[in-house]
């Protein structure tokens, strides 16, 4: 793992003790405590939100995921003790992670600054080197790329139900079947890979005969960025996918759906903020979001370059396109 030569990006080699074993973790000064936990997760499979880090005189600061490691007097001669349990050893649903409810839209100038900041580009480069996207099915030449969130996008993960199918967003399979003709489909969730496989498997998404999922990405593929007005938060940089499959996917042929617009901050032009699907039992028969988005995706699939589209106006685009077709 390489960091830049600046002080804030100085590489740190830390020792972490967990469950009787010692682990070596390499991070950079411009990483946050949250990023340190993500690196520990790679080695131990203990999800970041389940980790409690203990270090001499720093225990309280290590509970704040937004603190930068360069702000802490960490010393490689000391060991950080981690307390936590893997999902395999828990008898609970891993969905009990903290929920993000305070979504926000950054000022345009600030969003551009975050995307172009050298420190964030360095973090993206490190993540590209650290996280390998594993293909479930081959990339298809000439197809565009659709990247989908799970929670509140495809699935209401907070409502109780005996059968997960009752929490699935209406028309999910019809939507995926229709857009698969023009798009490769990747699913990217801010949760664990185990949870992604579990829920998508239960919904019949991973083995559906009418479409194929190209790849799954989890929280380990995300990076942490800082906003002057909103502080530190995680996001999903599409540049990671573009860097690993440059012959198939670029900024001109990729679109991402997520109910949290903050996840688009490294690629705002490619993000479409989908209406959250909550209270599945009340909205299961009325939610039409995926039906309307099917029309939009098929309409823009005709374009050679989607990078100039304003996805905030996707509903108007879909309506205008439908009118043009009726008058032909």
Which domains occur in the chain, in start order?
7-92 (3.10.20.90), 133-326 (3.40.50.1000)
Can you give the pLDDT at residue 96?
A: 46
Nearest Cα residue to 290 out of 178, 163, 161: 178
The chain-wide mean pLDDT, for the chain, equals 88
| pLDDT per position as a tens digit, 157-205 | 888 888 889 999 999 999 999 999 999 999 999 988 988 999 999 999 9
* Spatial distance between the Cα atoms of 179 and 225, rounded to a whole number of angstroms: 32
**Residue 259 pLDDT > 90:** yes
Phi then psi dihedrals of residue 297, to 5 deg: -65, -40
CA 59 to each of CA 65, 78, 180, 236: distance values in angstroms, whole numbers, following the listed order: 12, 13, 48, 29
Nearest Cα residue to 130 out of 216, 224, 24, 222: 222
Sheet arrangement for strand 52-54: 21-28, 11-18, 79-83, 52-54
pTM for the model: 0.81
**Residue 107 pLDDT > 80:** no
């Amino acid at each position: 793992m390489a960091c830049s030569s600046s002080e804030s990006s100085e590489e740190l080699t830390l020792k972490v003790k967990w469950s009787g074993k010692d682990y070596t973790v390499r991070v950079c000064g411009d990483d946050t405590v949250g990023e340190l936990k993500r690196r520990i997760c790679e080695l131990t499979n203990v999800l970041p939100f389940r980790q409690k880090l203990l270090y001499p005189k720093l225990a309280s600061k290590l509970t704040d995921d937004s603190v930068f490691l360069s702000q802490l007097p960490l010393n490689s001669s000391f060991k950080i003790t981690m307390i936590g349990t893997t999902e395999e050893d828990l008898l609970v649903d891993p969905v009990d992670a903290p929920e993000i409810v305070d979504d926000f839209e950054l000022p345009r100038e600030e969003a551009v600054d975050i995307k172009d900041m050298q420190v964030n580009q360095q973090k993206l480069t490190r993540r590209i080197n650290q996280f390998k996207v594993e293909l479930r099915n081959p990339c298809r030449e000439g197809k565009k790329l659709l990247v989908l969130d799970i929670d509140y996008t495809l699935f209401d993960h907070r409502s109780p139900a005996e059968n997960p199918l009752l929490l699935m967003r209406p028309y999910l399979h019809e939507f995926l079947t229709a857009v698969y003709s023009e798009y490769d489909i990747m699913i990217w969730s801010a949760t664990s890979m185990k949870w992604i496989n579990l829920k998508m498997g239960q919904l019949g998404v991973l083995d559906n005969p009418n479409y194929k999922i190209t790849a799954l990405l989890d929280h380990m593929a995300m990076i942490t960025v800082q906003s002057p007005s909103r502080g530190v938060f995680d996001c999903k940089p599409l540049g990671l996918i573009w860097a690993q499959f440059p012959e198939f996917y670029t900024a001109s042929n990729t679109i991402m759906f997520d109910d949290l617009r903050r996840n688009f901050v490294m690629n705002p032009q490619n993000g479409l903020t989908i209406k959250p699907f909550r209270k599945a039992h009340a909205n299961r028969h009325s939610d039409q979001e995926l039906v309307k988005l099917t029309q939009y995706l098929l309409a823009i699939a005709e374009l050679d370059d989607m990078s100039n589209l304003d996805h905030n106006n996707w509903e108007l685009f879909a309506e205008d396109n439908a009118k043009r077709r009726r008058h032909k």
